[in-house]
Copies of this chain bind each other. A is one copy, B any other.
């Protein structure tokens, strides 16, 4: 907006992705938010037969939890830790002037007990700690996730919304459910008019063991990505279907009444799916697929 001298409300409303001055961090205009609503409604219809339990997930999570499940060790480059001021009034009187002089006003900040949420489903597992499930558990939650991406590539947003379905079930059922969802999710993306590639994938592990970890994950076909065009000449994974085997059930000691529990999840990258829809159909909702018709007044 900085380059306009006259500013009627229109232009901001019509813009879909708004610059925040920070690389990879965006705010969104009205049209984009309506599209996110329409995607939520569509995903709600798509997943209605799962009868999932909804969870509300805050965008921060226990640091100890992410240390415990191995996230910090495997993805230190993506994690945002949170720090808070632990000094007193008098000490702040000495630090506050540094806001103007350019000194380090965070000198008395200490590592807090929370970190930024990197994936929605981490909020599910601690709720299941030590439980014995009489029936499969299916959860539906949306998290504002943060990953400290260093790229300015479109769609590689540092802060983004991830809607996830998580299933806790016997090993065979969890895997079968994940497999069926690869097909269902691909069909859903096609119903939005998008061309979809399905490919085995691996997470962006960091450091020395990265290549081996990735190869192992790929060999076991634990992660599948659904890839579409989000901009000219740019394809990105917008959806992933994952099997965690006993990674979380072993750590939090939950099981099925009938035996071991495995977990699996389907993760919808909402901003990227929205970008793909905008790339394919444009920003006029009248040209969006029927599946995304915005019902007036809702």
Q: How far is the CA of A6 from the CA of B258 in the complex (A)?
A: 12
- Number of copies of this chain that the complex holds: 2
In the complex, the answer to whether A64 meets B21 with C-beta atoms within 8 Å is yes
B-side contacts of A26, CB under 8 Å: 58
In the complex, the answer to whether B33 meets A55 with C-beta atoms within 8 Å is yes
- In this complex, the interface size class of chain A, counting residues with CB under 8 Å from chain B, is 35 or more
In the complex, the answer to whether B59 meets A148 with C-beta atoms within 8 Å is no
The contact string, 1 if C-beta is below 8 Å from chain B, for chain A 63-96, is 0110100001100110111111100010011011
In the complex, the answer to whether B56 meets A27 with C-beta atoms within 8 Å is yes
Cβ 8 A contact of A81, one of B28, B34, B83, B123: B83
In the complex, the answer to whether B127 meets A27 with C-beta atoms within 8 Å is yes
In the complex, the answer to whether A12 meets B127 with C-beta atoms within 8 Å is yes
The contact string, 1 if C-beta is below 8 Å from chain B, for chain A 89-111, is 10011011001000011100101
In the complex, the answer to whether A79 meets B89 with C-beta atoms within 8 Å is no
Chain B min CB distance to A155 (Å):
15
Q: How far is the CA of A133 from the CA of B9 in the complex (A)?
A: 8
Interface residues of A (CB under 8 A from B): 1-9, 12-13, 18, 20-22, 25-30, 32-34, 36, 41, 53-62, 64-65, 67, 72-73, 76-77, 79-85, 89, 92-93, 95-96, 99, 104-106, 109, 111-114, 116, 123, 126-135, 137-138, 144, 146, 148, 158-159, 206-208, 254, 257, 298
Between A and B, 30 residue pairs with Cβ closer than 8 Å are A1-B129, A2-B129, A5-B131, A6-B131, A6-B132, A6-B134, A7-B133, A9-B137, A12-B53, A12-B127, A20-B123, A22-B62, A22-B113, A22-B114, A25-B62, A28-B56, A30-B54, A32-B56, A60-B116, A60-B158, A72-B99, A76-B85, A76-B92, A79-B85, A80-B114, A81-B84, A81-B106, A82-B146, A84-B148, A298-B298
Using A25-B61, A59-B144 as known contacts, list a sample of 14 further A-B pairs with CB atoms less than 8 Å apart, ordered by residue number in A. Answer: A4-B131, A5-B131, A8-B134, A9-B137, A21-B65, A29-B55, A30-B53, A30-B55, A33-B56, A76-B96, A76-B105, A81-B84, A83-B83, A104-B111
